[in-house]
Amino acid sequence: MTEQEQQVVANQAAEPVFAAFVAIDWADKKHYWSLQVANSGKIERGCLENSPEAVEVWVAELSQRFEQRPIAVALEQRRGALAVMLSKYGQLHLYPVHPLTLSKYREAWYPSRSKDDIKDADLLLEIVTQHRERLRRLDPDTEEMRLLQFQVENRRKLIDERTALSNRMTDSLKIYFPQLLQWFDDVTAPVAANLLNKWPTLEALQKAKPSSLEKFFRENHCKTEKIPERLQQIKSAIPATYDAAVISGMVPMVQVWANQIAVLCKAIRELETRIERNAKSQADWAIFDSLPGAGDVMAPRLLAAMGTRRERFEAADQLQCFTGIAPVKEASGKTEWVHMRWACPKFLRQTFHEWAACSIPFCGWAKGYYDQQKAKGNSHHTAVRALAFKWMRILYACWRDRQPYQEEVYLASLAKRRISIPALAKAVKMP
């Protein structure tokens, strides 16, 4: 039996006997649905207002009609308003369909590419009734784990937003106040925002009394030995421009961005505290805390990526394919080529990729393997993806067996299989 056939059998064994199949084409104001009773070829159609009240009434009618028996529901979104509203009803089993899957399915049956909501609902219904074994049912994790998943993703969104604002502020400062970028390594630091709010231009800063500047730097926890040097730099600095229009136009925006960055930094710190508290309360925390290079940031992200439901993945290769770390092999005639997997949860792929990169300075065999890949002519990211592929097999075994990572066990396994990696047994520490 092939791996795909095994997966089909597993999916069929896990799912209940459905009383009906429903497909919903999501829209901003109205949802169009198609319904087919089990063992019936008749299709019923209708529309549904996009509101919790309308969904509540509609589900209540289905529950009464089918006597609370399970109903399979196909929809285009894994996350979103509709998925959230439907997930609270126990008798509904959600089967998200990737938008690209629906698009290609529609194109296969309608080469003219004609499209409407009712037609899409019918196509979704056909997919869930005839090709359900190829879909991954949405089985929510525990409430605590789902909260952690939202938290780590929200943290990354805030970090990205802070980076975008920082880049905008840096570009503007280069034009009228470039010295600030030299004095402070990180423009997102609170001292930079406080200085810009108090003295938004070099001219205003140079007019301030040395005693006021010294007091400011001390209050903002700057290193005492660097304060005299910084005061001298301020005194000898030359303005990049005297154009009042440029300066007056940029100062308000830079101050706004600086204040927004300060708010984001505070929010990130508070969110990191909640993430740490939530992650350490999970039963599997010791597994992810033992991973080299994971640290306070990556360990919670890896924990959220794996979750608690071990039945989701029967083997490590399923996890590697789902997260997008495993490459895709294509063949046509005598031609074969391998490329990066694009249709995957991007945040999950990013999580394993970043952790693999972080593990290199902390793990001897990981650095040896990375160097080995680089020596073959692979780029940095290709080498890191190859290392992530290797790490995921190890992590899957630890997660499956509920055992923390032990490097000596893995090294012994490599030695037993006579696998050699340069600098295998040499631990590499951060300088």
The CATH T-level fold of domain 3-140 is Nucleotidyltransferase; domain 5 (3.30.420)
Contact 343, 326 (CB under 8 A): no
Question: Tokens in use for 321?
Answer: 């394919």
Question: Tokens in use for 247?
Answer: 């300066």
The CATH T-level fold of domain 147-277 is Helix Hairpins (1.10.287)
Contact 44, 36 (CB under 8 A): yes
Per-residue pLDDT of the chain (431 residues; tens, 9 = 90+): 334 444 444 454 468 899 999 999 887 788 899 999 998 989 999 998 888 898 899 999 999 999 999 999 999 877 777 888 888 888 999 999 988 888 888 888 888 777 778 889 999 999 999 999 888 888 888 999 999 999 999 999 999 999 999 999 999 999 999 999 998 888 899 999 999 999 999 999 999 999 999 999 999 888 888 889 999 999 999 999 999 999 999 999 999 999 999 999 999 999 999 999 999 999 999 999 999 999 999 999 999 999 999 988 889 999 999 899 988 888 877 788 888 887 788 999 999 999 999 999 999 899 999 999 999 999 999 999 999 999 999 999 999 999 999 988 888 877 777 766 654 434 333 23
User: Among positive and negative, which fits the CA dihedral 352, 355, 360, 365?
Assistant: negative
Which residues of the chain are in CATH 1.10.287.4070 domains?
Answer: 147-277
CA distance 423 to 77: 46
DSSP string for 245-283: HHHHHHHHHHHHHHHHHHHHHHHHHHHHHHHHHHHHTST
Buried b (16+ CB within 10 A) or exposed e, 360-372: bebbbbbbbbbeb
CA distance 206 to 213: 10
- Cα separations in angstroms, 322 against 113, 145, 298, 312, 387: 29, 19, 19, 10, 17
The alpha helices in 178-226, defined as continuous H runs, are: 179-183, 190-198, 202-207, 210-219
Place of tokens 């890949």: 373
Which residues of the chain are in CATH 3.30.420.10 domains?
Answer: 3-140
Side chain identity, residue 276? E
- pLDDT given for residue 421 in this prediction: 62
CA distance 95 to 70: 13
Cβ-proximal residues to 9 (8 Å cutoff; 6+ apart), any chain: 1
- pLDDT given for residue 431 in this prediction: 30
- pLDDT given for residue 14 in this prediction: 67
- pLDDT given for residue 343 in this prediction: 75
Buried b (16+ CB within 10 A) or exposed e, 289-306: bebbbbeebbbbbbbbbb
